[in-house]
């Protein structure tokens, strides 16, 4: 029995050593940032394991600001962002010896979500500013000429994102204007899914989030800008940028990517990677052929 136990122990130790050696040989790419991108980033990471078993991509969210801060501090290989880096962030990065390089990896339609019982079909930028903007006069749905079933008290529940979010920053700049500010008293959600979940369950609510987080139980408003046509958020309208709140999605690297990081980013932009993006509800960077 002792001989058998010893043999088992030796075999187990050998397997552990082999596994440890194999793990040590793997290249780990640290990828962090945008909650808008986190789902597709995780899908890319999982799929890439079948492309190159010697490379592991470790993905975490936390918001665009979190990813960009990690890039500035040199603690990630790739920062995901749903907005461009600000000039002050670029200057800070360079002061710390980092050289952020921008890569567009897809496009997203930033949808305005309302409860499925809300009778609104179309919202324009002026209405959105009056709801989301500081000093806006629309505090009740009746201020917009609407009566929402199940919304007791008529008060609009304004759902936003936390200020480290690229979605927060992009919506603010595009809809409220360069000097615009959000109204006080918004419900600020940590992630895009949290916004959709709250609006879905709250008849009085309105919020914004990435198109990829839409469900069959929530309504997306058709959006008008500057008297133009009303455009519904979709992969197609994000691709051709006809939807007014469409935006690029970014990955940032420190300098031009090399080695395993370059190979991974090239794969993300390939048909295989872009088809995964499309499957997750985002628009690819170019026309792709998917099975």
Would you say 56 and 49 are in contact if contact means Cβ atoms under 8 Å apart? yes
Tens of pLDDT along the chain (291 residues) come to 444 444 444 444 444 443 333 445 789 999 999 999 999 999 999 999 999 999 999 999 999 999 999 999 999 999 999 999 999 999 999 999 999 999 999 999 999 999 999 999 999 999 999 999 999 999 999 999 999 999 999 999 999 999 999 999 999 999 999 899 999 999 999 999 999 999 999 999 999 999 999 999 999 999 999 999 999 999 999 989 999 999 999 999 999 999 999 999 999 999 999 999 999 999 999 988 898
Evaluate the CA torsion angle 196, 198, 203, 204 in order and state its sign.
negative
Would you say 79 and 71 are in contact if contact means Cβ atoms under 8 Å apart? yes
Question: What structural domains and CATH numbers belong to the chain?
Answer: 2-106+250-279 (3.40.190.10), 108-246 (3.40.190.10)
Would you say 110 and 209 are in contact if contact means Cβ atoms under 8 Å apart? yes
Q: ∠ CA(29), CA(35), CA(41), 5° rounding?
A: 40
- How far is C-alpha 147 from the geometric centre of its chain's CA atoms? 32
């Amino acid at each position: 029995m002792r001989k058998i136990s010893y043999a088992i122990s030796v075999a187990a130790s050998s397997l552990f050593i082999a596994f440890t050696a194999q793990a040590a040989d793997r290249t780990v790419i640290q990828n962090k940032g945008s909650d808008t991108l986190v789902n597709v980033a995780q899908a890319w990471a999982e799929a890439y394991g079948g492309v190159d078993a010697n490379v592991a991509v470790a993905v975490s969210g936390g918001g665009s600001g979190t990813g960009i801060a990690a890039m500035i501090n040199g603690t990630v290989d790739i920062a995901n962002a749903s907005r461009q880096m600000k000039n002050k962030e670029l200057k800070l990065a360079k002061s710390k010896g980092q050289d952020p390089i921008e890569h567009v990896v897809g496009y997203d339609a930033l949808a305005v979500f309302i409860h499925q019982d809300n009778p609104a079909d179309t919202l324009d930028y002026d209405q959105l500013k009056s709801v989301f903007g500081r000093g806006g006069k629309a505090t009740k749905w009746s201020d917009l000429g609407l009566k929402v079933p199940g919304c007791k008290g008529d008060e609009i529940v304004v759902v936003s994102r936390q200020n480290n979010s690229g979605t927060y920053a992009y919506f603010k700049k595009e809809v409220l204007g360069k000097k615009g500010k959000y109204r006080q008293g918004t419900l600020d959600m940590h992630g895009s899914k949290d916004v959709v979940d709250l609006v879905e369950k709250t008849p009085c609510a309105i919020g914004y989030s990435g198109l990829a987080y839409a469900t069959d139980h929530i309504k997306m408003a058709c959006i008008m800008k500057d008297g133009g046509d009303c455009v519904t958020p979709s992969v197609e309208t994000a691709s051709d940028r006809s939807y007014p709140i469409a935006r690029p999605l970014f990955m940032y690297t420190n300098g031009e990517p090399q080695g395993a990081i370059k190979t991974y980013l090239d794969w993300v932009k390939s048909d295989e990677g872009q088809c995964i993006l499309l499957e997750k509800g985002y628009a690819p960077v170019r026309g792709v052929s998917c099975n």
